[in-house]
Amino acid sequence: MISAFGAGLLFGIGLWLSGMANPGKVLDFLDVAGHWDPSLLLVMGGAVAVTAVAFRPLLKRTPMDLKSSVDKQLVIGAAIFGLGWGIGGYCPGPALTALSTFSAEVLVFVGAMIAGGVLARIASPAGPGA
Amino acid sequence: MNNFTPVSALAGGVLIGVASVWLLAANGRIAGVSGILHGLFAQPPGDRAWRAAFIAGLLVAGVVWQFFLPANQNPMHWGWLALAGLLVGFGTRIGGGCTSGHGVCGLGRFSLRSLVAVVVFMAAGMAATYVIRHVL
């Protein structure tokens, strides 16, 4: 419990420091035809550099049942997610931590995001979950 | 490229990576924010406590950060954000992950599945942003 809270806190600080919690900056990264801002490549690079080193020994110690297949659901789901990300500039983590701004727009986004997840569960009950 | 912020981007990314490793090491969980959120609303209800704790951490991080620096808001019509939120929620549930689950964690375990997801959602995101900023 406390460790999950701490991990969330650190994750959130990382989102703010990196600029991910600023939807304008995210859209500047996705806007390759405009004033392209490559910063988010470094956010992803910095994060993956850490997980690439540490995840393998951890997963070896305690194996998890993680999916590895590439299927139609994965591609369709990722494409739909990407369209929403490119419209609003929010993916789930930044949207949740940005709730702290008490802005009505973020509240609308998060409410719709939760509803979208519930809709997907109803449409495809055997869906992949996490 | 006058908006390029390499140092804070890299440092923030490292923090996100460390937090993901922390959650895996301490809780045995993958730090995929969409999965953590969707699991809160799953039926039947399962392990909600750690999920709520992680999300509470995200929220407190926002409060603490804005105590020092005001957030940079991007004013956008709520109708667009409602559509965007629906697509993000639906897509991450069907595709089994988002920028953190497939991106940070999936790529970190060298998963081809996650690499495909990352390429697809980045391409779709760039296409949507292109249409919104340069076509409409």
ipTM, two decimals, is 0.95
pLDDT given for residue B73 in this prediction = 67
What Rg, from alpha-carbon coordinates, does chain A have? Answer: 16
Closest by Cα among B93, B80, B56, B9 to A45: B9
Q: What is the mean pLDDT of chain B?
A: 93
Say if the Cβ atoms of B116 and A70 lie within 8 Å: yes
Could you give the CA distance from residue A128 to residue A76 in angstroms, rounded to a whole number?
Answer: 13
Could you give the CA distance from residue B38 to residue B53 in angstroms, rounded to a whole number?
Answer: 14
- Nearest C-alpha of chain B: how many angstroms from A65? 11
What tens digit of pLDDT does each residue of A83-92 get? 999 999 999 9
What tens digit of pLDDT does each residue of A16-65 get? 999 999 999 999 999 999 989 999 999 999 999 999 999 999 999 888 88
Q: Are A94 and B73 in contact (CB under 8 A)?
A: no
pTM of the model: 0.95
- Answer whether B43 touches A (CB < 8 Å): yes
Within B1-111, residue ranges assigned H as helices are 6-27, 33-40, 48-68, 78-95, 107-108
- Answer whether B48 touches A (CB < 8 Å): no
Percentage of chain B with pLDDT > 70? 96
